[in-house]
Structure 1
Amino acid sequence: MLLRAVPCATPHGFRPLLADVHLPPVRRPPVVLFLHGGGWRLGSRTSFCPTWRDWSPNPFARLVAAGFAVVSADYRLSGEAVFPAQLDDVTAAAHWIRDRAADLGVDAERIVVWGESAGGHLAALLGLTATRNAPSAVAGVVDWYGPSDLSAMPSRDDPNSREGQLLGAAASQVPDLARAASPVSHVHAAAPPFHLAHGTADDAVPAQQSRQLADALRAEGRPVECELVAEAGHLWRGPVDGQRIFSRALEFAQRVTAR
């Protein structure tokens, strides 16, 4: 079953934000909260890795076939609002899942946050901030090629970069805000398990960003998988076994939500 364009958050003074809800025919399935990419400035809930747009069945359908409910949620883009609006929005989407769990028939105690690029960045932030005071809020995080330290991005001095537009200024000019928007700054001893995957030929987000987050999680003794995919570019472009990459992330999601 697919419920399209369901309002899941209403930021003050802004239009309602929408989610597409994909439901499998099973009782109380675990949930994947999916967050799209697009450099925080474009994209929507209907997109799941544009490089795989021709997959049949598509990635959403594959998750449903594996027994997951999928909530793919929109968030405010950087042209509409600057950080922390985006984190506020995805946090609201997670709260909406919990509040509506009985109506949707899903198990809100088993939520995996999964995102790519800008969505991977937000998935990591949500997983880390939500579990600081409530360790069971997120069962795991799948972060594909998301920035983890905005102050270490090559574009940190450019206010017109993707990161600059997210922050409203060059990251180097607003170090406190850049730190607040960086997942590495939020790693803690109760962080959920992470599955990180990143192409070594990514020219939009350096693979070092995932290495840095993995190192920070390991330093806190947290479980983390970090797969660096040789020759893969951003959005899994290039000579990449996409089926394997997707399967590895799916297996992680199944593992962290197993009863």
Structure 2
Amino acid sequence: MTVETTMGASSAQRGTEAAERRKPTPPPFPAFHAPGQAEVVSENSLVHRELSYAIAVGFRRLSMDLWLPRRVAERPVPLVVWIHGGAFQLGDRRELPPTFGPDSVFRLLNQAGIACATVDYRHSLEAPFPAQLHDIKAAVRYLRHHADVLGLDPARIGAWGESAGGHLAALLGLTGHRADLEGGLGVQGHPSSVSAVVDFYGVSSLNDMPPMTAANDFMGPALLAAVPEGVSVHPETMLVGGSKDPRVLDAASPRSYVTPDAATFLLVHGDSDGLVPLSQSELLAGLLQESGVEHQLVTIEGADHCFFFAEDQMDRILALSVDFFRQHFRLP
């Protein structure tokens, strides 16, 4: 009896194990979505809209639009990641500053034979730094992962941003070798480095930013009015979760990451910027110089933030930036 009981239990166990093996395995939680079909938007551009490059639990889906050039001699094509501004509190991947022509950045890059990914990222009240950098890095990894199907050259990727986006573009160009800053979102196993950066009036040192007031810049009142009651009015403090610790602010500042391994930089800044002083770009240019990094600082005379009051120079400014990428990527 003892032997029969033991044998019977063993047979039942084997049956359970076989049933478990037959049970279908549920798919893993999606970390990102594959690209769909592009739509034709002009004679120069195809656009993949709403590409979900990372899915972060507890947050909105992180998306990008990818503008691909139609008229190119050969593929794969180089790529520039466009990062919008908005004091880390506002902004959208589809919106350019009012001084820029509609879709001008995306269109001009496509006309030059360069793809453009315009990327959303979490704002400072959604998540503190380094979430924003993690998001942008996840976007670059996504684009490298899907480079073959999208016709992109993973070896030729740059970044271009304005204001808060300039800050993030600079960080992207300075931290490609920092595994500790990659984050765990989206695609893994690809580098997030870029080889060229255009930084429009970005912050280089959060500890050296003047307080935002209604008086120091004509854009100040609108930004101050948009900040919820009880929340810091200073974008640099909001970025780091309200901390005023100089060490925390330095950890979110591009100045802290300059090394000889940095990307090539073009810094463009107005000499009358009342929101982000020209000294911020001068500081970063000096550190790049000390590290032997190829760079150029272009000062726009009479320009405030977003190049307000220098609108007549916008065509030149944008052409200068596109030419910087064209030369870096060795395009005709």
Q: Which residue of 1 aligns with 2:271?
A: 200
Q: Distance in 2 between matches of 1:14 and 1:136?
A: 22
AA aligned to 2:236 is E
| Cα distance per residue 1:220-257 (max 9 Å; x no partner) | 01111001111101001003411111111111111111
Q: Is the 8 A contact 1:214 1:224 kept in 2?
A: yes
- Maintained 8 Å contact 1:37/1:118: yes
Residue aligning to 1:41? 89
Among 295, 309, 322, the residue aligned to 1:250: 322
- Equivalence for 1:112: 158
Residue number in structure 2 paired with 1:164: 237
Match for residue 69 of structure 2 among 7, 11, 24: 24
* 1:58 CA displacement: 2.4
How many equivalent pairs are there? Answer: 254
- Contact 1:199-1:230 at 8 Å conserved across structures: yes
Query: What amino acid sits opposite 1:149 in the alignment?
Result: S
Give runs of ≥4 in structure 1 deviating > 4 Å.
131-136
Letter in 2 for 1:8: Y
Structure label with greater radius of gyration: 2
Kindly state the Cα deviation for residue 160 of structure 1 after the two structures are TM-superposed.
2.4
C-alpha contact (below 8 Å) 1:135/1:190 kept by paired residues? no
Equivalent residue number for residue 82 of structure 1: 128
Scaled by the length of structure 2, the TM-score of the pair is 0.73
Query: Following the alignment from structure 2 to structure 1, what is the Cα–Cα distance between the partners of residues 206 and 104?
Result: 31
Task: Write out per-residue CA displacement over residues 77-112 of structure 1, whole angstroms, 9 at most, x where no aligned residue.
Answer: 112111111011001011111111111111011011
Aligned residues with identical type, % of pairs:
41
Q: Distance in 2 between matches of 1:16 and 1:132?
A: 25
Aligned residue among 138, 141, 146 for 2:197: 141
Mapped to 2, the partners of 1:129 and 1:58 lie a distance apart of: 28
Contact 1:37 1:120 in 2 (8 A): yes
Is contact 2:141-2:191 (8 Å) kept? no
Distance in 2 between residues matched to 1:125 and 1:59, nearest whole Å: 20
Does the 8 Å contact 2:160/2:199 carry over to 1?
yes
| CA displacement 1:106-131 (0-9 Å, x = unmatched) | 10110110000000000000111114
Alignment partners' CA distance in 1, 2:152 and 2:164: 26
Distance 1:79 1:136 in 2: 25
Residue identity in the other structure for 1:51: T
> Contact 2:274 / 2:304 at 8 angstroms: preserved in 1?
yes
Q: Is the 8 A contact 2:172 2:193 kept in 1?
A: no
TM-score (norm: length of structure 1):
0.93
1:136 is displaced (CA, Å) by 9.4
Q: Structure 2: which amino acid aligns with 1:176?
A: R
The runs of 5 or more residues in structure 1 that have no matched partner are none
Aligned equivalents of 1:216 and 1:111: distance in 2? 23
Structure 1 residue matching 2:152: 3-state secondary structure: coil
Q: Which runs of structure 2 are paired with 1:56-67 in the superposition (5 Å)?
A: 58-67=104-113
Deviation at 1:50, TM superposition (A): 2.5
- Does the aligned pair in 2 maintain the 1:46–1:72 contact within 8 Å? yes
In structure 2, C-alpha distance between the alignment counterparts of 1:131 and 1:66, rounded to whole Å: 29
CA apart distance, 1:176: 1.8
What's the RMSD between the two structures over aligned residues? Answer: 1.9
Read off the aligned partner of 2:76 and give its amino acid letter: R
- Indicate conservation of the 8 Å contact 1:129/1:186, yes or no: yes
2:285 equivalent to 1:214: yes
